[in-house]
Amino acid sequence: MWYAQVKIRKRVRYGKSIIFRFAHERKLYGSRRIQEKFGLGPMDKKIGEYWAISAHDNGLSKIKNGKYKGETLKDVYLNHRELFANDPHDKFPLLVKINEIQEPCSVQVHPDDAYARKHEKDYGKAEFCLWLDVEEGTKIIRGHSAKTKEEFRKAIEEKAWDTLFVRKSVHTNEFVYTPAGTIHGIEGKLMMAEVQQSSDVTYRIYDYDRKDANGNMRELHIDQAIKVTNIPHIESDVHPTVTMLEGNEVIEYVNEKYFSVTRYKIQNEIQINNPSYSLCLPLSGNGILHIDGKDYDIQVGIGFIITSHTKRYSIQGNIDLLVSVPK
């Protein structure tokens, strides 16, 4: 596993801010654009997913600075809950990543908490996706046309993909919020930032008859998918709010059951409140994070957490920052 390096201007007092090394995953649908855009990862591998902030066992982030340097986010969360507003979740609740899609992404669905806890010993998965770079003509699959489980199963058995799946065009800087139970997929090429519950449970319904690296057909999960899919399809009703703060555009995309996601397009120095603890992912540009008179360099693509010991922080520079707050 390869880890990025982060340059730190001055050491901030322990527990105020945590900067991470990251994990990456090779995927059939990946490419080398994550390395090219963010300068992260080996160029000899196709990376489909870059897990910027993760305490999930399938891709653990390691801390790059301060008292807990070298430890995983998972361990620090379990042993130092005071840094995370004494969050009652038994496991770290969110995962922040960047995905690169160059081939169709399987049509899939994620279970809710109740089903995932019972059958997978994991969280369910609701997710937010922000399209960062979309090739013209790209479409997402979003929902289905079936009205009953019987109709849904019949369409799958008959492979009636064109009539079963609902397809929608997407463009750069648009977003979707996908609750558990929502059928979704991607047909085309794009890069996206994703905030989700910390779960790696996915049930594939259709995978374009692809084979894995060993030449075997990839596994599908039809029975599980039928059990957890919302039938009929329920479209989430979310609308962003746009405000100006100290001359900077602020877009709150979602404020839902599991998390809120806000984008700060920073051009002037900005003061940001930290209601509990915040997961931050710089999407472009560069800047400086100020906490208690000390400074961090902010590097594009390198995730960091503002812990609950900090109630307010400031950032200056020219930077596009995605901030998620767990609930």
Annotated catalytic sites, by residue?
A: 204
DSSP assignment letter at 147: S
| Residues 6 or more apart in contact with residue 212 via CB below 8 angstroms | 28, 218
Phi, psi of 25 (to 5 degrees): -130, 135
Task: Give the number of other CB atoms < 10 A from CB of residue 47.
Answer: 23
Neighbouring CB atoms inside 10 A of 4's CB total: 20
Long-range contacts of 290-295 (CB under 8 A, 24+ apart): 290/314, 290/315, 290/316, 291/12, 291/16, 291/17, 292/12, 292/13, 292/16, 294/10, 294/11, 294/12, 294/13, 294/16, 295/9, 295/10
d(CA 30, CA 189): 10
Give the pairing of strands 241-245 and 127-134: unpaired
Which residues lie below 8 Å from residue 214, measured CB to CB, with a gap of 6+? none
